[in-house]
DNA sequence: TGCCACATGTAAGATGTTACATGATTCT
DNA sequence: AGAATCATGTAACATCTTACATGTGGCA
């Protein structure tokens, strides 16, 4: 329902790759995408409830001795559609939480290289424009002309922006190269 | 009261630099640190109320014709202490929101270069450890041995982590150089 | 003996966004 | 005529974290 509920789609994406319980999903997220995306029980379990109530997932209960029964969730066709819709939407850069681009790339493996190339090209464009703005500011906020300490700290912040934007641009280039190579391989010998 | 309420300290930090109304504060944040930190009215105005109720700020009302009266807030001594306490606390890297390090560097201008050097050294250490972990993963998740598409996408995510960690490390180095140079200048001719 | 893995979940609160209400004045 | 600037604020909601409750079985 909501536009940008990242955790909603993260859970749905994990289910898209295979059925599992809340516990399984937590482990999968930690293991697969844990380094750029975190999730807590307080999000997973309510999300699974919503998923089931909307018909995006079905539940199977597995009896478990001594432990609570495992509630194993499977994605439905509707769920898949909803998930694909999200995958194909452009990345929301206002979303302050986790790295939506990496999340979409991760889940987009099966969605084909083309779409991911677009996501990367978009990202590169955004970072290039960002870098352009920083460079413009740098032309008058120069370290050589900086006098006050405040100016120096502002310059350091600017440098951060420039450095990170450049790193993003470089990464996009590399990633696109890799995807291009992969497409070539897939086309020629698979 | 809360541990990591970034917006609370951002507002307090702006007030530390000079008294102002909610409107002024919003403008100041947009202008000074807008590129890495955002704030909305829904945060500013309640925060100012809390600040006043806790005795961290006092209010002066300026009559304004045709417009609502300006409520000009000034930081108190207690407010300053609370703010300094935050400044000297290490950066909370679990905080998902805005870039706390840049915020502290920005406000830390008056707190002296030494503390900021420590913040940068800490940051560098964290990013170096992060990079070490990524490199370790890279040793077995290698692009040459990647077979499945999923492996390739995981590799791209890893590359992102590496590239950004390296950029952070490089930036820290530059920033520390700048601060060192500044200290030298301050010592020799000011 | 105590902690970790398994497995479910909830309650409370922190933090933030979006969109609205109000209304005069000044610029385009 | 309409948009922007000035200036206050609130209400609803979205999102997420922290900490707890509950309990077994296995390993050190």
* CB-strand contact A67/D, under 7 Å: yes
Tell which wins on pLDDT, B45 or B188: B45
Q: Crossing angle of helices A77-88/A100-107, nearest 10°?
A: 130
pTM to 2 decimals? 0.91
Looking at residue A142, what DSSP letter applies?
-
Categorize the per-residue pLDDT at A154 as very low, low, confident or very high, splitting at 50, 70 and 90: very high
Checking if the pLDDT of B174 tops 90, the result is: yes
Chain A residue numbers touching B106 (CB-CB < 8 A): 153-154, 157
Task: Answer yes or no: do A163 and B159 touch at CB < 8 A.
Answer: no
- Give the Cα separation of A168 and A91 in Å (integer): 15
Q: pLDDT tier at B188 (50, 70, 90 boundaries)?
A: very low
State the pLDDT at residue B190: 42
Say yes or no to pLDDT of A167 above 90: yes
Confidence bin at B185 (pLDDT 50/70/90):
confident
Per CB-CB distance under 8 Å, the chain B contacts of A167 are: 163-164, 166-167
B103 touches strand C (CB under 7 A): no
Reduce the DSSP state of residue A164 to 3 states and report it. Answer: helix
Indicate the pairing of strand A57-62 with strand A70-75.
Answer: antiparallel
Residues B125 and A141: their CA atoms lie apart, in Å, by 28
Look at residue A1 and tell me whether its pLDDT is greater than 60.
no
From CA B9, how far away is CA B32, in angstroms rounded?
A: 15
Q: How confident is the model at residue A141 (pLDDT cuts 50, 70, 90)?
A: confident
Report the distance separating Cα A94 and Cα A92, nearest Å: 6
Burial of B14 (0-12, 13-18, 19+ CB in 10 A): buried
pLDDT at position A142, please?
78
Q: Residues of chain B with pLDDT > 90: what percent?
A: 75
Which chain A positions have a beta carbon within 8 Å of B115's beta carbon?
none
Contacts 24+ apart (CB under 8 A), B150-157: B150/A109, B152/A109, B152/A178, B152/A179, B152/A182, B153/A105, B153/A106, B153/A108, B153/A109, B153/A116, B154/A32, B154/A106, B155/A178, B156/A105, B156/A175, B156/A178, B156/A179, B157/A33, B157/A35, B157/A36, B157/A102, B157/A105, B157/A106
Letter string b/e over residues A96-131, b meaning 16 or more CB atoms within 10 A of that residue's CB: eebbbbbbbbbbbbebebeebbebbeebbebbeebb
* pLDDT value at A113 more than 80: yes
Task: Find out whether A124 and A136 touch, Cβ atoms under 8 Å.
Answer: no
Confidence label for B140 from pLDDT (cuts 50, 70 and 90): confident
Whether residue A3 has pLDDT greater than 70 = no
Q: Is the CB of B99 under 7 A from strand C?
A: no
Distance of CA A109 to the CA centre of its chain: 12
Cα gap B57→B22, rounded to integer Å = 12
As ranges, strand D nucleotides with an atom below 7 A of a protein CB are 6-12, 14-20, 22-25
Cα separation, B135 vs B154, whole angstroms? 13
Strand D and A92 CB separated by under 7 Å: no
């Amino acid at each position: 329902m909501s536009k940008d509920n990242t955790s909603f789609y993260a859970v749905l994406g994990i289910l898209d790759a295979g059925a599992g319980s809340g516990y399984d999903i937590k482990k999968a997220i930690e293991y697969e995408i844990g380094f750029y995306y975190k999730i807590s029980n307080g999000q997973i379990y309510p999300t699974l409830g919503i998923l089931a109530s909307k018909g995006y997932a079905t539940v199977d209960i597995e009896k478990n001795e001594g432990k609570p029964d495992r509630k194993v969730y499977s994605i439905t066709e509707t769920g898949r559609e909803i998930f694909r819709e999200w995958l194909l939407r452009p990345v929301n850069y206002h979303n302050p939480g986790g790295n939506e681009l990496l999340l979409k790339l991760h889940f987009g493996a099966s969605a084909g290289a083309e779409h991911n190339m677009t996501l990367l090209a978009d990202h590169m464009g955004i970072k290039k424009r960002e870098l352009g703005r920083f460079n413009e500011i740098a032309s008058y906020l120069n370290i050589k002309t900086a006098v006050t300490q405040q100016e120096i700290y502002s310059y350091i912040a600017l440098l951060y922006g420039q450095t990170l934007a450049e790193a993003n641009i470089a990464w996009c280039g590399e990633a696109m190269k890799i995807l291009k190579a992969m497409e070539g391989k897939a086309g020629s010998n698979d």
